[in-house]
């Protein structure tokens, strides 16, 4: 099978200006600090800049370019398809760096198919159907929520995607909206800031990766082709806290349409980070906002450390041309920086090397002139620079059986001092040079040696353009070289789609999140509570019960919207935990509660009962109805000895209220009578 493309993607020697941080003064002397120890002013000094790309699946019945159902997550697999990727030359006769990298990995790609949600379109055997109208309408609506300029015609483009996660080798994508600004009230910088949106596109989702072992990667295709929107911001996020607040804001705007998917994997973020003197690095697939601040903080310091290494190399007079290699051939035949190291390591007691020799692996030693000591320089918490080399080798040479590489800087004890001496001699290396040993099958060892030299060369650039994967400890690992800027080209299979005016006119724009928060604040909710409520699953239920436009006085609770919001926040999650089901009663049931004149202090208890699916509303309300109760009769006990006034109050209230159902009496009235009866002068 083929998977090729005539992409005009050219790997330009010049870095696109948008990728460079606008400031070139690397703050090399900036102190090393933890997240939380830096102020907004400090991040400004670092030149910290972040932008977001938020991917959000849309709630449609079908996929974007075929009529397969959307939103299925399958476990059973009916068939598997095997593919190889290979790059094709662009018109300029150049390979895209990213595409070339994927080719170098020599991966076998296996797609797992389920009859229930995949057809021949996803597998690139039939051309696309018409674009799904429902998805286009939702995307237009969300673009309007972002206050964007809408395109008048939809032009489907192909975006090159050669990691195998899309069988065609490209993703179909269409620009829907451009520009737009939204109020950014939760910025750590305070004030009335704005977050600028660059663009919003409608795209098809890629496959889910199931496993990636050695030269074989497996994908499941249920998610493939599902419609999603990609919202890209300008680099307006200036602190780690801002990045998280920005992400939550974008998610809230999309959610406010009520037409996006929720749950695991439905929303995924890419975040672009740079600091003064560095260039944009993209961290992919961040699914948790919680991790985001630490992640971008650590990434900023990785940039700073790489810039420090670059400065030190320049001081030592190292130049990039030293590491250049002809494109073809085994590295150890082409340069004296790489030598066959079988003889040098033969007597080492180091187990991984002994195992490699026994397996017939190629073992080679590499010299990085002028790098002595720098491989141990930390780039991330507990991670030395050597790891940047190792990751390249792992991803591109697919050497996954660890360890496959050892360096004198980081692990001087590994091979033993005699062996290191032999390696150094074989390489004619001096003290100021770094030396490494790498092993694997001959082809992989050759790729590994080439990648190590390439990465060393890039150390003189400072921060290479790449995409990185977020790890759960808030560090990142190399994923791939950042694709060239021109990997988009028109899709010849789909005609342009003029957007009918009627579609735009039919959009009933929902309330935007910041307007909703302002409305809740006007109802008397505290700022934090008003901020939390729009994202709560019961927000719409709350709105049904607390009409916000007119009909004042309709509710017995009157101003007690606050009490209701509080009761929801406190009791609903608890009920869901206890019952093991996420059940929300209809608005009618709760309206009956609000109109029944229930004692406000009993609302939470009544709510608890109504959060059961089998609750008999009338019976519940009758039980908790306010009654004529002789309060004095509830306080007939004698005061026990030795109780303080405070303790006596609590005891007497407990005794009295336990004699009647919740809501039957006003607890404040009982309290007043208890104080009077026992003469509790000291309580407030």
Tell me, by CB under 5 A, how many residues bind Zn ion: 5
Q: Which CB atom, from 123 or from 674, has the smaller least distance to Zn ion?
A: 123
Report in angstroms how near the CB of residue 10 gets to Zn ion at its nearest.
32
Other beta carbons within 10 Å of 54: 24
Buried b (16+ CB within 10 A) or exposed e, 350-375: bebbeebeeeebbbbbbbbbbbbebb
C-beta closer to Zn ion: residue 119 or 357: 119
Six token digits for residue 115: 């009859």
Name, in order, each residue with C-beta under 8 angstroms of 62's C-beta and a sequence gap of 6 or more.
68, 69, 70, 132, 134
Q: Which residues of 494-524 are buried (b: 16+ CB within 10 A; e: fewer)?
A: beebebeeeeeeebeebebbbebbebbeebe
Nearer to Zn ion, 52 or 66 (CB): 66
Indicate the residue among 226 and 338 with the shorter CB distance to Zn ion: 226
Quick one: CA dihedral 473, 474, 475, 481, positive or negative?
Answer: positive
Span from 119-127, 256-264, 441-449, 530-538 in contact with Zn ion (CB under 5 A): 119-127
Instruction: Kindly report the length of the chain.
Output: 684
From the list 25-33, 63-71, 132-140, 167-175, the region that binds Zn ion by CB under 5 A is 63-71
The residue range among 121-129, 405-413, 414-422, 542-550 that interacts with Zn ion, by the rule CB under 5 A, is 121-129
Q: Contact with Zn ion (CB under 5 A): which of 50, 68, 140, 252?
A: 68
Name the residue nearer to Zn ion (CB basis): 66 or 399: 66
Which one, 148 or 221, has the nearer CB to Zn ion?
221
The residue range among 62-70, 299-307, 429-437, 549-557 that interacts with Zn ion, by the rule CB under 5 A, is: 62-70
Closer residue to Zn ion, CB minimum distance, 96 or 122:
122
| Angle subtended by helix axes 442-458 and 386-396, to nearest 10 | 140
User: Applying CB under 5 A, does 74 fall inside the site for Zn ion?
Assistant: no
Q: Toward Zn ion, which CB reaches closer, 58 or 398?
A: 58
Residue 119 engages Zn ion in binding (rule: CB under 5 A): yes
Q: How far is CA 68 from CA 63, 158, 170, 203, 513, in A?
A: 6, 21, 19, 16, 32
Among 43, 48, 111, 121, binds Zn ion (CB under 5 A): 121
Q: Which of 46, 66, 207, 313 binds Zn ion (CB under 5 A)?
A: 66
Q: Which stretch binds Zn ion (CB under 5 A): 65-73, 170-178, 188-196, 443-451?
A: 65-73
Q: Which of 609, 614, 612 is nearest to 624 (CA)?
A: 609
CA dihedral 604, 607, 608, 612 (to 10 degrees): 180
Q: Which is nearer to Zn ion, 132 or 609 (CB)?
A: 132
| Residues 566, 564: Cα–Cα separation, whole Å | 5
> Least distance to Zn ion from the beta carbon of 70, Å?
10
- Report d(CA 54, CA 51) in Å as an integer: 10
Segment 208-267, which members bind Zn ion (CB under 5 A)? Answer: none
Region of 68-76, 82-90, 434-442, 671-679 interacting with Zn ion (CB under 5 A) = 68-76
Of 33, 17, 56, 478, the residue nearest 239 (C-alpha)? 33
Measured distance between the N- and C-terminal CA atoms of the chain, rounded to whole angstroms: 82
User: What minimum distance in Å lies between the beta carbon of 488 and Zn ion?
Assistant: 23
Give the nearest distance from C-beta 64 to Zn ion in angstroms.
10
594 binds Zn ion (CB under 5 A): no
Peptide bond into 428 cis (omega under 30): no
Shortest distance, CB of residue 157 to Zn ion, whole angstroms?
Answer: 20
* Min separation Cβ 621 and Zn ion, Å: 51
Stretch that binds Zn ion, among 6-14, 85-93, 122-130, 573-581 (CB under 5 A): 122-130
Report the distance separating Cα 404 and Cα 363, nearest Å. 9
Q: Minimum CB separation from Zn ion for residue 110, in Å?
A: 19
Closer residue to Zn ion (CB): 127 or 329: 127
Q: How far is the CB of 121 from Zn ion (least distance, A)?
A: 5
DSSP 366: E
Three-state SS for 300-324 is HHHHHHHHHHHHHHHHCCCCHHHHC
Min dist. Cβ of residue 116 to Zn ion (A) = 11
CB of 222 to Zn ion, least distance (A): 10
- Least gap, CB of 160 to Zn ion (angstroms): 21
In whole angstroms, what is the distance from residue 232 CA to residue 39 CA? Answer: 26
Positions in 16-45 near Zn ion (CB under 5 A): none
**676 and 631 in contact (C-beta within 8 Å)?**
no
- Chain residues binding Zn ion by CB under 5 A are 66, 68, 119, 121-122
């Amino acid at each position: 099978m083929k998977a090729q493309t005539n992409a005009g993607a050219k790997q330009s020697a010049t870095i696109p200006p948008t990728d460079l941080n606008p400031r070139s003064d690397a703050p090399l002397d900036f102190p090393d600090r933890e997240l939380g120890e830096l102020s907004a002013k400090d991040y400004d000094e670092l030149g910290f800049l972040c932008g977001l790309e938020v991917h959000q699946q849309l709630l449609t019945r079908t996929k974007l370019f075929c009529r397969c159902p959307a939103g299925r997550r399958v476990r059973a697999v009916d068939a598997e398809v095997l593919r190889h990727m290979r790059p094709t030359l662009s018109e300029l006769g150049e390979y895209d760096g990213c595409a070339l990298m994927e080719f170098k990995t020599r991966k076998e790609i296996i797609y797992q198919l389920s009859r229930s949600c995949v057809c021949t379109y996803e597998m690139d055997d039939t051309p696309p159907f018409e674009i799904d109208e429902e998805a286009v309408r939702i995307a237009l609506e969300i673009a309007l929520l972002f206050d964007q300029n809408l395109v008048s015609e939809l032009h489907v483009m192909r975006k090159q995607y050669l990691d195998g996660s899309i069988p065609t080798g490209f993703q179909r994508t269409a620009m829907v909206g451009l520009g737009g600004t939204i109020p950014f009230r939760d910025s750590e910088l305070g004030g009335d800031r704005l977050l600028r949106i660059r663009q919003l596109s409608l795209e098809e989702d890629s496959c889910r990766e199931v496993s990636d072992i050695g030269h074989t990667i497996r994908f499941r295709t249920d998610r493939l082709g599902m419609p999603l929107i990609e919202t890209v911001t300008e680099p307006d996020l200036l602190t780690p806290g801002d990045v998280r607040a920005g992400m939550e804001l974008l998610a809230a705007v999309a959610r406010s349409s009520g037409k996006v998917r929720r749950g695991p994997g439905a929303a995924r973020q890419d975040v672009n980070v740079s600091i003064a003197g560095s260039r944009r690095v993209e961290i992919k697939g961040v699914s948790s906002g919680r991790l985001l601040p630490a992640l971008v903080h650590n990434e900023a310091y990785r940039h700073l450390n790489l810039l420090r290494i670059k400065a030190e190399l320049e001081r030592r007079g190292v130049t990039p041309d030293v590491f250049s290699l002809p494109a073809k051939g085994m590295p150890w035949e082409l340069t004296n920086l790489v030598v066959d190291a079988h003889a040098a390591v033969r007597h080492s007691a180091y187990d991984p090397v002994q195992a490699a020799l026994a397996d017939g692996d190629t073992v080679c030693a590499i010299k990085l002139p002028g790098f002595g000591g720098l491989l141990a320089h930390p780039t991330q918490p507990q991670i030395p620079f050597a790891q940047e080399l190792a990751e390249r080798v792992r991803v591109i040479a697919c050497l996954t059986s660890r360890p496959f590489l050892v360096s004198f800087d980081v692990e001087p004890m590994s091979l033993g001092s005699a062996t290191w001496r032999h390696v150094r001699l074989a390489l004619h290396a001096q003290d100021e040079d770094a030396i490494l040993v790498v092993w694997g099958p001959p082809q992989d060892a050759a790729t590994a040696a080439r990648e190590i030299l390439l990465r060393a060369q890039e150390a003189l650039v400072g921060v290479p353009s790449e995409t990185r994967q977020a790890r759960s400890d808030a560090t990142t690992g190399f994923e791939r070289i950042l694709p060239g800027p021109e990997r988009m080209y028109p899709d010849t299979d789909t005609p342009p789609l003029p957007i009918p005016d009627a579609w735009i006119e039919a959009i009933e724009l929902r309330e935007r999140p910041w307007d909703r928060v302002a409305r809740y604040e006007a109802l008397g909710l505290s700022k934090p509570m008003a901020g939390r409520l729009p994202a709560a699953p019961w927000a719409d239920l709350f709105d049904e019960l607390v009409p916000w436009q007119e009909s004042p006085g309709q509710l017995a609770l009157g101003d007690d919207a606050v009490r209701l919001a509080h009761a929801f926040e406190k009791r609903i999650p608890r009920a869901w935990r206890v019952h093991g089901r996420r059940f929300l009663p209809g608005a009618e049931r709760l309206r009956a509660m609000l109109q029944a004149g229930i004692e406000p202090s009993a609302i939470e208890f009544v709510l608890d009962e109504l959060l059961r699916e089998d609750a008999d509303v009338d019976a519940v309300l009758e039980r908790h109805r306010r009654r004529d109760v002789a309060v004095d009769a509830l306080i007939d006990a004698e005061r026990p000895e030795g109780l303080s006034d405070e303790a006596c109050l609590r005891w007497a209230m407990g005794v009295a209220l336990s004699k009647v159902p919740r809501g039957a009496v006003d607890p404040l009235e009982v309290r007043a009578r208890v104080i009077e009866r026992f003469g509790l002068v000291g309580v407030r």
